[in-house]
Amino acid sequence: MRGWDQLLDGYMAEYGARGLSEESVRHVGRALERWGSWLKHSRPRPKLEDVDAPMITRYMRSRSSFKAKSTVYRTLSTLRGMGDYLVREGVWAANPMRWMKGPKVTPYSHLPARLNRGQVEAMWKAAAEVRGPYRRVLWVTVLSLLYGTGLRRGEIARLEVGHWEREEGLLRIDGRKTGWERRVPVPELTYRCLETYLPLRSNALMASERAESPALLVGSDGTALSPHAISVGIHRIARRAQVDFRSIHQFRHTCASDLLETGVSLPEVQRILGHRVISTTVRYTHIADPQRAAALALHPINDWLVAGGIP
């Protein structure tokens, strides 16, 4: 495995020059570091030039986290890109992953389970029963942001007070994930939650001597809520509400699906969610199948059945 680190640095420099978001570059770097670590710890340790398709297949199978088809496909694509680089550098004569196919992935393969209205309401009630007036308002606000705006967990954790445009009812979202900044309108309920929360936040920061903290969401000790803290808090609320809850991303999926069902246009939902391409947003339209069926029941062609029957 001599030279792996130098080769990885070279590939990441080339990959980063494509103009992708920092988050995407970091994700690819972490995936390749895991692969390199696995190769280095394999016994007997292989030479990089001897790595072949069976060895790559063993690596893919060794990753217990590779349960979703989309994860397998994405990881194989990442390794394939590194393989092409190794060919260009003369390490491999050919890229064995060029002939390896990942699992069949449909547009809906990796959509998280949608929360129904009863589940969302149960979690809302559980959040309103959290002990302590500050923590109660904090978690109701977090919940309203997740469901009301469809923001990603990381985007919520990175929100700062200066990102809240109160008069216009907009949140300014950084472009760390998407590569560009966007402004997202908040529903009236989320607006009220934020306005109730902000004075309490100021008091909490003063009490903890962290008055200068720019973070919008802070714990009772004045520290900014991390993405992990948000996950832990929401999962705790879900358990209290007895809701089968798997991932924070379910709120984003539910928000998108509900907006589309109520008639919000695809381009508008795309802008709210911050999708780079509309094809990503289109994945959510299958949720509205029952609504489309009901709409087609009103098609004028159905009047022919009453007028003249089927020829």
- Residue 143: which CATH number? 1.10.443.10
pLDDT in tens, 29-59: 999 999 999 999 888 888 998 998 888 888 8
| Burial of 157: CB neighbours in 10 Å, binned 0-12, 13-18, 19+ | buried
Tell me: do 89 and 224 sit in the same domain: no
Tell me: do 69 and 139 sit in the same domain: no
Domain end point (choices 68, 99, 130): 99
Tell me: do 257 and 127 sit in the same domain: yes
Neighbours of 158 (CB within 10 A): 19
Tell me: do 124 and 182 sit in the same domain: yes
Mean per-residue pLDDT of the chain: 83
74: CATH:
1.10.150.130
pLDDT in tens, 276-288: 666 666 666 655 4
Tell me: do 211 and 259 sit in the same domain: yes
Domain end point (choices 67, 99, 131): 99
Tell me: do 259 and 121 sit in the same domain: yes
What pLDDT sits at residue 273?
78
Tell me: do 169 and 255 sit in the same domain: yes
Write out the residue range of the structural domain in which residue 159 sits: 117-288
Tell me: do 124 and 245 sit in the same domain: yes
Query: To which H or E segment does residue 164 belong?
Result: strand 164-165
Q: Is residue 302 part of a domain?
A: no
pLDDT in tens, 113-144: 788 989 999 999 999 999 999 999 999 999 99
- Decide: pTM greater than 0.85: no
As a whole-number percent, the residues of the chain with pLDDT over 70 amount to 80
Instruction: Specify the range with the lowest mean pLDDT, choosing from 8-17, 278-287, 288-297.
Output: 288-297
Is the pLDDT reported for residue 65 higher than 80?
Answer: no
Tell me: do 89 and 190 sit in the same domain: no
Tell me: do 21 and 166 sit in the same domain: no
Q: How many domains does the chain have?
A: 2
What pLDDT sits at residue 21?
79
